[in-house]
Amino acid sequence: MNLINLFIMSILTENIVLMKFLGICPFIGTSSKEKSALGMGVSVTIVITLSSIITYLLYYYILVPTDTTYLKTLSFVLVVACMVQLIEMLIKRRNPKLYHSLGIYLPLITTNCAVLGVLLLNITNQYSFLEMLTFSIGSSLGFTLVIYIFSTIREALERRNVPNSFKGYPIALITASIMALLFSRYLIV
């Protein structure tokens, strides 16, 4: 029950993009096309899920016993960078077709705050292993969902007449504001 609760919460009311502002750069920057938004979402989901398991084990079995928890930022960044590199090589060898559609998004993920943010939240919220897994998968699905919806809205917006100074990013941010309002808990209560 608790896990289901956490799962739904991490997708909707505690959405990492709209409520915690993680991964805003790809959200605003790359999500003006439907297809690229989906590609980004899928690659972020893979990277978050795999690297959250690794960093969780790394933190509780290496950093905590050796009393070097202050190295968590540094080591997590390294794990994410290696993970991205590894997945990129694997996909390139096994499935060149998939590589062509996902390839351009993978290197960008290293500096995506959503990935590092979720990894750090796993630690600061002191989740157990199962909770951690649920939260990571839920958050990355939430990221994919929001980035996909947002890209479709923006594609429609591009064909509309928007006041000159609102063109581009400002109108995107205001759209994001309305979306955040819809996702927030105030409406449910």
Which stretches of the chain bind other proteins, using CB under 8 A? Answer: 18-25, 28-29, 70-74, 77-78, 81, 110-113, 115-117, 120-121, 124, 163-167, 169-174, 176-178, 180-181, 184, 186
Residue whose CB is less far from other proteins, 48 or 98: 48
Interatomic CA distance for residues 73 and 116, integer angstroms:
8
Say how far apart CA 12 and CA 146 lie, in whole Å: 9
Nearer to other proteins, 74 or 130 (CB): 74
The least CB distance from residue 113 to other proteins, in Å, is 5
Residues making up the chain, counted from first to last: 189
Distance CA 171, CA 156 (A): 12
Angle formed by the axes of helices 129-157 and 34-58, nearest 10°: 160
Cβ proximity to other proteins: between 65 and 163 the closer is 163
**Nearest distance, CB of residue 180 and other proteins, angstroms:** 4
